[in-house]
Structure 1
Amino acid sequence: MISARARILLLLLVVMTAALAAVAGTTRSILLRDLEHRVDRLLAQETREFASLYERGVDPETSRPFTDPERLLTVFLERQYADPDEELLGLVRQRDGPKQLVQPRDLTMSQPLENDKAGRRAIFESGDRTGSLDRPSGEVRWAKVGIGAKEEPDAAAFVVAIHTEREREQVSDVFVIMLMISAMALVVVSAIGWAVAGRILAPVRLVGQTAAQLTEQDLTRRIPVRGRADRDETAALAATFNAMLDRLERAFAAQREFVDDAGHELRTPITIVRGHLELMGDDPAEREETLRLVTDELDRMTRIVEDLLLLAKAERPDFVEPEPVQLAELTADVFVKARTLGERDWELSEVAEGEMRLDPQRVTQAMVQLAQNAVQHTAPGGRIRIGSRTAEGHVELYVADSGPGIPPQDADLIFERFRRGTARRGSRGGGAGLGLAIVKAIAEGHRGHVELSPTEGGGATFTLILQEGL
């Protein structure tokens, strides 16, 4: 199979060959056309000069108009000097053929008409005033002016003949030279094209080599991006491939993290379940207690698996499905659902107005999770405030509690998976540590983030900052 580099070079050579052949052919046609035009002008000029003498000239010996055609031709030819490749002849009719009067000079053509009796007869007896003779030595273009009286209108004739073979050979030589130059140009273009094609295709080859070297264990290789991706297609290709590798690396990292986290977190409840089942005796009360503990651990494993699957889905583009949402209605719905989580002093502090494109189910899930955390870390009757407000280009939804708050060293730690901080907020926090990681994933799915700040008077305030324009 022909490589892409060879195909590019072959296409380039085909185009260049066609272009150079067209240039050479056009140049040859132009030169031949110019030759024809110049020959036509010379023939017309010589015949006009003779016709002028024939019509208005006088014999220098008698000072009277010419009456003898032979005398007219002789006088005219003696005063002319022919150009190279040009013959000026005077032909007078006789019984054995036209008598020839020529200007004495050295002829440069290979086969002059003065030595070609058949050619002179053909021109003299032709009814045309201009024409051409095709001879083995080349083409001869001619024009003539007839001389005579009414009774014998073609008793004599002035003939100008131009031999074009030498100039046509020059045109052919130019054409051959152009073809040779074109051939050398094709060789040079081939070398340059091969190098340029290799340089252009280098990123493509590098993409192939990088793809061949990628494994699930090593997704760190990247292609160097040279140039600006918005102006250079090869740089754009490299940048696009690197972005794809980034997504693959994140996907594999999420997969490995999911497997590691699931294995780590599920190992403990599985061990507990197995231990209790192995130690279970025949006592009905003991069996009932063991069944209760096993069921509780299985429920905890189910919650962990569901939360891990949700976090894995957060990497997918359809994790968030935005739609137009009335912010006031969304805030009120969240408040109503949160009030059922525990006996607390619930307060709807403020409500944002307007419409925004959000995923109402995901936002509600995040806010309910924050409210659940607030319930777990406040005592019965403790104050929990829920509200929303708009700012330039984004909306803020928050949950503020009156619990013990979050130590500064745990501010970033609590948003990681299976991490609940170095100091637990209260005695009720027995979750797997995935709730705030889910809240963070939902915020990032809306091109936003989660902020943690202390509540005035004590406690913690979690704020979802969600961007417009999804």
Structure 2
Amino acid sequence: MAVALASVAATTRSILLRDTDQRISGLLAQEAGEFANFEEQGFDPETGRPFTDPGRLLRVFLERQYADLDEELVGLVGEVGSRRPTQIIQQREIPVDRPLHEDADARRRIYASPDSSGTLDRPEGEIRWAKVTVARYGGEPAAAFVVAFHPGREQARADEVFRVLLAISGVALLMTTGIAWVVAGRILKPVRLVRTTAAQLTEQDLTRRIPVHGRDDVAALAETFNAMLDRLERAFATQRRFVDDAGHELRTPITIVRGHLELMGDDPAEREETVRLVTDELDRMSRIVEDLLLLAKAERPDFVTPEPVQLAELTADVYVKARTLGDREWVLDGVADREVLLDPQRITQAMVQLAQNAVQHTTAGQRIRMGSRADGPRIELYVADSGPGVQPQDAEVIF
């Protein structure tokens, strides 16, 4: 913003100076042209004839002119090489330091210059000038009309506009900076909140969330961060549950094994019974470890690998495997004949587990039905037994 405002101010100053130069050049050309026309077509008011005296020509012309405020109209008479040409000027003061009619050296340099226009640099200020030489009939130049313009005030006005623009730009820059500071602070507030929240998170406390306002990119960042915290919280909760389950499930068989070993006597029959009990508990412990590992793997994305499977064939295979779990009346209740996308190993594992549960809650000879059915896009595999069932208040907790 600072560079842009400074560029605007500098460009404005450059345009003003260029316009000033063009106006001065036009003014000089106009004055020189008017004198040239007067020299060619003018008549001496006293004689009614063309001018023959350069001095008289200059004096009459200057008496009829009115110069601008920063402009000087000067007539110079004398040989080109003369050190101090005689001057004829309008009797008027101009507000500049050391005007041309008071600067003999500047008049000489302009009078002796072969150019018709130019710029004269002086310590007192720059002079833009144009000159029209006047010669006697067919002779060498004996006089010259000089129009001089002092551009100092015009240039100072452009510089003043430049300074005013800089001052206004500075105020605008301060206001813009303040507004930008406030707006940027509001925009970055959620980012700082994300950083603060991340710094306050610990393994014991993952419940902090960032409030989401609006629908912009910062709000999307907050939502993404909250979703990440949700995943972290679930991961840590799963880890804690796994540790709690492992501690709870393994503590009992370990206690039993330790107690039997501590109480084991010298009697061979007692030793044999202790070994049997310990082996049974170790087997149970091994199954518990496998179940815990299965629960841990269930959180992995590759735990389930679906593939196209014939549902009727899968249902029949599961039924054949489940019949060996116990002496029950096993019934293949129904089969859905269609191809579905699922993981046959995980489905078999879950169905066998449900069948084992049905065996535990029934007695010999009771009926256990297994089957599958399809209802539109929904596929259902089921195990139904004739045991006591689950109380309604416990069903929500179990499932």
Conserved in 1, the CA contact under 8 Å of 2:39 and 2:57?
Answer: yes
Partner of 2:36: 51
Alignment of 1:70-469 (within 5 A): 70-94=55-79, 95-148=82-135, 151-152=138-139, 154-228=141-215, 231-233=216-218, 235-322=219-306, 325-328=307-310, 332-333=313-314, 335-342=316-323, 344-347=330-333, 349-353=335-339, 356=341, 358-374=342-358, 376=360, 382=367, 384-387=369-372, 389=374, 391-392=376-377, 395-404=378-387, 405-415=389-399
Amino acid at match of 1:134: D
Shift of 1:132: 0.2
Residue 87 of structure 1 deviates from its aligned partner by 0.9
CA distance in 1, matches of 2:38, 2:305: 102
Query: How far did residue 321 of structure 1 move?
Result: 4.4
CA distance in 2, matches of 1:107, 1:167: 14
SS in 2 for 1:147: strand
Q: How far 1:157 moved relative to its partner?
A: 2.1
Once superposed, which parts of structure 1, at least 4 consecutive aligned residues long, lie more than 6 Å away? none
What is the rounded CA distance, in whole Å, between the counterparts of 2:22 and 2:348 in structure 1? Answer: 91
Q: What SS is found at the alignment partner of 1:145?
A: strand
> CA shift at 1:380, angstroms?
5.1
Alpha-carbon offset, residue 33 of structure 1: 1.5
Give % identity.
62
- Cα 1:57–1:353 change in 2 (3 A) is farther
1:367 Cα deviation from its structure 2 partner: 3.8
The AA in structure 2 aligned to 1:326 is P
Once the two structures are TM-superposed, the CA of residue 142 in structure 1 deviates from its matched residue by 1.0
Deviation at residue 85 of structure 1 after TM alignment: 0.7
Show the counterpart of 2:327: none
Structure 1 residue identity aligned to 2:2: T
Contact kept? 1:147, 1:156, Cα under 8 Å: yes
- Deviation sequence 1:372-415 (CA, Å, 0-9, x none): 445555665835333353735xx423124243454433332223
Which secondary structure state, in structure 1, belongs to the residue aligned with residue 335 of structure 2? strand
CA distance in 2 between partners of 1:156 and 1:359 (Å): 114
What code does the residue aligned with 1:126 have? S
Unaligned runs of 5+ in 1: 1-15, 416-470
Distance 1:371 1:30 in 2: 94
SS at match of 2:114: coil
Bigger radius of gyration among the two: 2
- 1:34 corresponds to: 19
Taking the aligned partners of 2:85 and 2:295, their CA distance within structure 1 comes to 113
Greater Cα offset, 261-270 or 200-209: 200-209
Whole-Å Cα distance in 1 between the matches of residues 338 and 359 of structure 2? 24
Amino acid at match of 2:331: D
Normalised to the residue count of structure 1, the TM-score between the two structures is 0.73
Residue 255 of structure 2 aligns to a residue whose secondary structure is: helix
Separation in structure 1 between the aligned mates of residue 44 and residue 16 of structure 2, nearest angstrom = 42
User: What letter corresponds to residue 396 of structure 1 in structure 2?
Assistant: I
Residue type of the alignment partner of 2:71: E
Deviates more, 1:185-194 or 1:64-73: 185-194
**Deviation of the 1:184 alpha carbon:** 4.1
Shift of 1:186: 4.4
Q: CA deviation at 1:305?
A: 2.3
Post-superposition offset of 1:312: 2.9
- In structure 2, distance between residues paired with 1:373 and 1:142: 115
Q: Which amino acid aligns with 2:258?
A: R
Checking the alignment, whether the CA contact within 8 Å between 2:334 and 2:373 is kept in structure 1 is no
Distance 1:61 1:367 in 2: 135
- Counterpart contact for 1:87–1:161, Cα < 8 Å: yes
Change (3 A) 1:285 1:294: same
2:366/2:386 contact within 8 Å kept: no
State the secondary structure of the residue aligned to 2:141.
coil
User: CA contact under 8 A between 1:327 and 1:351: conserved in structure 2?
Assistant: no
Measured in 1, the distance between the counterparts of 2:312 and 2:223 equals 42
Q: CA deviation at 1:359?
A: 4.5
Q: How far apart, in 1, do the equivalents of 2:374 and 2:136 lie?
A: 118
AA of the residue aligned to 1:261: D
Contact kept in structure 2, 1:21 and 1:179, CA below 8 Å: yes
The change in CA–CA distance for 1:270 and 1:83 in structure 2 (over 3 A counts) is: same
Change (3 A) 1:128 1:301: same
Gap runs ≥5 in structure 2: 325-329
SS in 1 for 2:133: strand
SS at match of 1:32: helix
Contact 1:374 1:384 in 2 (8 A): no
Residues 331, 388 of structure 1: 8 Å contact kept: no
